[in-house]
Amino acid sequence: MKLVRYGAEGAEKPGMLDATGHVRDLSGLIDDVGGNALLPDSITRLAGIDPASLPLVTGTPQENLRLGACVGGIGKFICIGLNYADHAAEAGMDIPAEPIIFSKWTSAVCGPNDPIQVPRGSTKTDWEVELGVVIGQGGSYIDEANAMDHVAGFCVVNDVSERDFQLNRSGTWDKGKGCDTFGPTGPWLVTPDEISNVNDLSMWLDVDGVRMQSGSTSTLIFKVPHLISYCSQFMSLQPGDVISTGTPPGVGMGQNPPRFLHGGETVSLGIEGLGQQTNVVLPSA
């Protein structure tokens, strides 16, 4: 099952993709794709609905029908740093002994085809294709063996980053991670039954049609169950929280010479089975 949020920014409605790739309206059944609507009982109930029985939404998603972020009202946007060995190498950093956790501010969240805005004063805005894990059943101190029972679905995330803010402006990485539009999320939330092996999904990112990142979740250092269990040791996880699990090599700061986004570029990215995003980059205001 693929769940979406469609419509104008700030007024998105919940929907479900049908077999033809068109959106069916779920607003008569749930208020949003988020929160308690992502609990296991709710997901099971939605999965039992024939999409053809729901109202058809006019338009084609990602063409003439805007999609918002596939999760509404995200409570926590948790990110994992240096979770691919080859990305750590290109960054010149050691493989971490434990997962590196940082946060994106939820005001960074935007739709999968919304513009990315280069922030004022930016010199090193960068890209990162990542697997997003959306929490369904919350909890604390989750056992790794049961961690996948807490997953409502998966999605594509672009962990857009300003490297100068992140690395050179003192303090934590968060400064360079949470600027407005730095969290394109979606296009859809894909439930786990549609993904045969989340630890073997190909992923890619292009800038102006040139392939920059090409990788696979098979090279994750810390796998999804471990990340869920680990994060839950430090915070309670709640329905609709998103964990963005790290990026493979090919980011802008890893190029020789480094390459960054300044405005005018088009960034396209995707993950096998989870759809793709395309974002125009706007120069700083």
**Tens of pLDDT, residues 42-72:** 999 999 999 999 999 999 999 999 999 999 9
Q: Tell me the two tokens of residue 63.
A: 């063409």
**The Cα angle at residue 180 between residues 85 and 263, in degrees rounded to 5:** 80
Direct distance between the N- and C-terminal alpha carbons of the chain, in angstroms, rounded to an integer: 39
CA-CA distance, 265 to 258, in Å (whole number)? 16
Which class is 69-282 in CATH?
alpha beta
Q: Which residues contact 155 (CB under 8 A, 6 or more apart)?
A: 70, 71, 132, 134, 185, 186, 187, 188, 189, 190, 242, 274, 275
What is the Cα Rg of the chain in Å? 18
* pLDDT of 93 strictly over 80: no
% of the chain beyond a pLDDT of 70: 100
Bridge-based pairing of strands 189-190 and 210-216 is unpaired
Residue 79's pLDDT band, with cuts at 50, 70 and 90, is very high
Q: Which residues contact 211 (CB under 8 A, 6 or more apart)?
A: 204, 205, 250
CA-CA distance, 218 to 232, in Å (whole number)? 23
Name the pTM for this structure.
0.97
**Tens of pLDDT, residues 102-156:** 999 999 999 999 999 999 999 999 999 999 999 999 999 999 999 999 999 999 9
